[in-house]
C-alpha cells in the first residue's frame, strides 16, 4: 500500500494563440512509507512542475488540468484551496533549492520556524521555541538555541539547506519532496545533505521524493527511480534494476552521458538533439526523433508504461517502461 499516489497528473499552460500546452502530461507515481523515489530527467522534461503539482500547485498562469494526488485515501486535488493548505507544508513537506533564495533574508531562522509551527502545529511561545530548536538540532545545525537568532546571510550554503529541511519538517510531514536539494552545493556538502535526508527518512519513516538531474545521486540515495521525458514517465524501476538493465533508450542515453569517476576513461556520450518544446511534442513516442532504435510504430503510436514481463512468481515486474522496442523483447 503506497503512502502517496499520483494518478494521471497533467499541468497545463494557456497560450495566446493555439491550444494550451501540457509540460506534464499524464504522470502517475507512487511512494511507499520510508521509501526514497528519485524523479530524474533533463531540464525541461517537467520534473519540477510534477513536484509542485504533488503539492497542488502550478506556477501561474498554469493549472493542474487533470489527475489525482492521494495521501491516506484523500485526493488533495479534490479539496478546496483551504483544505489543500493543511497538506502543503503539513502532511507533505517541500524542500526547495537553497540557491533560489528560499529563506526570507530579513527574518531570523527562529521567526521563520515559529511561523511554520504556528500554522501547521498550532504551537506558540516557549513550546514553539523548544520545538524549533529541536528541529534545528535534528538537521545537524550546531548550537540550535543560538541558531534561532541567526539570519540566512550568516550561514553557509550547506547550513541554509539544512535550515530549509528543518522548515519542511516543521509540519511533521509524512512525505518530503526535495527539488534538486544539492544542486548549488559543493560535493562534500552535497554528501552531508543527502546523508541527512536519508537518515531523516529512516528515523521518521517518511517517504522521500528526490527530484534530480544527477543519476549519480540516484544510484547512491534512492530505492526506486522514475525517469521522465517530455512530460511523461518513460521508465520506472528499482534502482539496481534500472542501472543493471535500463530498458528505455532514453534511460540508456542518460546513463551514457554521465562521466564516471571510476573504471575506464570512456568519454561521456551526449544525447543527440535536445528536449522538444512542449508546444510541439513529437507524435508517437516523444523520444523517437532522438532514439537510435526507432521503429515505424514509434513514430505513430504513443507507447504505454507497462511491466517488462512477469517475475518467477507470475506477478508483473515492477520494472516498467514505455517503449515499443522494449515491448518487442518482452
Partner 1 sequence: MSEPLLAVRELAVHYPRRGPFGRRLPPVRAVDGVSFDIAPGEALGLVGESGSGKSTLGRTILRLQPATSGEVRLEGRDLLAVSRAELRTLRRRMQMIFQDPGGALDPRMTAGEAVAEGMIVHRHVPAAGIPGRVAALLAEVGLDAAAAGRHPHEFSGGQRQRIGIARALAVDPAFLVCDEPVSALDVSVRAQVIGMLGELRQRRGLALLFIAHDLAVVRQVAARIAVMYAGRVVELGPSMDVLSTPRHPYTQALRSAVPVADPASRPGRIVLTGEPPSLSPPPPGCPFHPRCFHPARDARCVTERPQLRPVGPVLAACHHAS
Q: How far is the CB of 2 from partner 1 (least distance, A)?
A: 22
Q: How far is the CB of 115 from partner 1 (least distance, A)?
A: 27
- The verdict on 313 binding partner 1 (CB under 8 A) reads no
CA proximity to 298, closest of 275, 318, 321, 278: 321
CA separation for the pair 6, 184 (Å, rounded):
28
CA separation for the pair 243, 241 (Å, rounded):
6
Nearest residue (CB) to partner 1, 12 versus 161: 161
Query: Pick from 221, 229, 287, 324: which binds partner 1 (CB under 8 A)?
Result: 221
Q: How far is the CB of 292 from partner 1 (least distance, A)?
A: 14
Residues whose CB falls within 8 Å of the CB of residue 263, separated by 6 or more in sequence, listed in order = none
Q: How far is the CB of 218 from partner 1 (least distance, A)?
A: 8
Angle at 303 between CA 302 and CA 307, to 5 degrees: 160
- The verdict on 274 binding partner 1 (CB under 8 A) reads yes
- The verdict on 191 binding partner 1 (CB under 8 A) reads yes
- Could you say which DSSP state residue 294 is in? -
- Cβ(217)–Cβ(210) under 8 Å? yes
The DSSP annotation for 81-123 comes to HHHHHHHBTTTEEEE--GGGT-S-TTS-HHHHHHHHHHHHH--
CA separation for the pair 24, 13 (Å, rounded):
10
Query: Pick from 1, 60, 122, 187: which binds partner 1 (CB under 8 A)?
Result: 187
Nearest residue (CB) to partner 1, 140 versus 173: 140
- The verdict on 186 binding partner 1 (CB under 8 A) reads yes
Nearest residue (CB) to partner 1, 66 versus 255: 255
Q: How far is the CB of 27 from partner 1 (least distance, A)?
A: 20
- The verdict on 216 binding partner 1 (CB under 8 A) reads yes
- The verdict on 195 binding partner 1 (CB under 8 A) reads yes
Interface mask toward partner 1 for 232-271; x: CB under 8 A? -------xx--x---------xxx-xxxxxx--x-xxxxx
> CB under 8 A: which stretch of 22-30, 119-127, 171-179, 214-222 binds partner 1?
214-222
- The verdict on 218 binding partner 1 (CB under 8 A) reads yes
- Which class for 147: exposed (0-12), middle (13-18), buried (19 or more C-beta within 10 A)? buried
The strand pair at 63-71 and 74-75 is best described as antiparallel
- The verdict on 296 binding partner 1 (CB under 8 A) reads no
CA separation for the pair 111, 32 (Å, rounded):
33
Query: Pick from 21, 49, 215, 230: which binds partner 1 (CB under 8 A)?
Result: 215
CA proximity to 220, closest of 251, 187, 245, 194: 194
- Could you say which DSSP state residue 131 is in? H
Interface mask toward partner 1 for 134-163; x: CB under 8 A? ----------------------xxxx----
Q: How far is the CB of 267 from partner 1 (least distance, A)?
A: 6
- The verdict on 220 binding partner 1 (CB under 8 A) reads yes
CA separation for the pair 221, 92 (Å, rounded):
20
Cell of 278: 512542449
Specify the length of the chain in residues.
Answer: 330
Number of residues in contact with partner 1, rule: CB under 8 A? 43
The DSSP annotation for 203-263 comes to HHT-EEEEEES-HHHHHHH-SEEEEEETTEEEEEEEHHHHHHS--SHHHHHHHHHSPPSSS
Query: Pick from 192, 297, 317, 327: which binds partner 1 (CB under 8 A)?
Result: 192
* Binding interface with partner 1 (CB under 8 A): 42-43, 156-159, 186-192, 194-195, 213-221, 239-240, 243, 253-255, 257-262, 265, 267-271, 274
Amino acid at each position: 500500500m503506497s503512502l502517496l499516489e499520483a494518478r494521471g497528473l497533467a499541468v497545463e499552460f494557456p497560450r495566446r494563440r493555439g491550444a494550451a500546452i501540457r509540460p506534464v502530461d499524464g504522470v502517475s507515481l507512487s511512494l511507499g512509507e520510508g521509501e526514497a523515489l528519485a524523479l530524474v530527467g533533463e531540464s525541461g522534461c517537467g520534473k519540477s512542475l510534477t513536484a509542485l503539482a504533488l503539492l497542488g500547485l502550478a506556477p501561474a498562469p498554469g493549472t493542474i488540468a487533470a489527475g489525482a494526488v492521494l495521501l491516506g485515501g484523500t485526493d488533495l486535488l479534490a479539496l478546496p484551496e483551504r483544505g489543500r493548505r493543511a497538506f502543503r507544508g503539513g502532511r507533505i513537506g517541500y524542500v526547495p533549492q537553497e540557491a533560489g533564495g528560499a529563506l526570507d533574508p530579513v527574518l531570523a531562522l527562529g521567526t521563520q520556524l515559529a511561523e511554520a509551527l504556528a500554522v501547521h502545529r498550532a504551537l506558540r511561545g516557549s513550546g514553539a521555541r523548544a520545538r524549533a530548536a529541536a528541529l534545528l538540532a535534528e538537521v545537524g545545525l550546531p548550537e540550535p538555541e543560538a541558531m534561532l537568532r541567526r539570519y540566512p546571510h550568516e550561514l553557509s550554503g550547506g547550513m541554509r539547506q539544512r535550515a530549509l529541511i528543518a522548515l519542511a519538517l516543521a509540519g511533521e510531514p509524512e512525505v518530503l519532496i526535495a527539488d534538486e536539494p544539492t544542486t548549488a552545493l559543493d560535493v562534500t556538502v552535497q554528501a552531508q545533505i543527502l546523508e541527512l535526508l536519508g537518515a531523516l527518512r529512516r528515523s521518521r519513516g517518511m517517504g522521500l521524493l528526490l527530484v534530480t538531474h544527477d543519476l549519480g545521486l540516484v544510484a547512491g540515495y534512492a530505492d526506486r527511480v522514475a525517469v521522465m521525458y517530455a512530460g511523461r514517465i518513460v521508465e520506472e524501476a528499482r534502482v539496481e534494476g534500472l542501472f543493471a538493465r535500463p530498458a528505455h533508450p532514453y534511460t540508456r542515453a542518460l546513463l551514457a552521458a554521465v562521466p564516471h569517476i571510476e573504471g575506464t576513461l570512456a568519454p561521456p556520450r551526449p544525447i543527440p538533439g535536445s528536449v522538444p518544446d512542449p508546444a510541439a511534442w513529437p507524435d508517437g513516442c516523444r523520444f523517437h526523433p532522438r532514439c537510435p532504435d526507432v521503429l515505424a510504430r514509434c513514430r505513430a503510436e504513443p507507447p504505454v508504461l507497462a511491466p517488462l514481463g512477469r517475475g518467477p512468481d507470475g506477478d508483473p515486474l515492477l520494472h516498467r517502461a514505455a517503449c515499443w522496442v522494449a515491448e518487442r523483447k518482452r
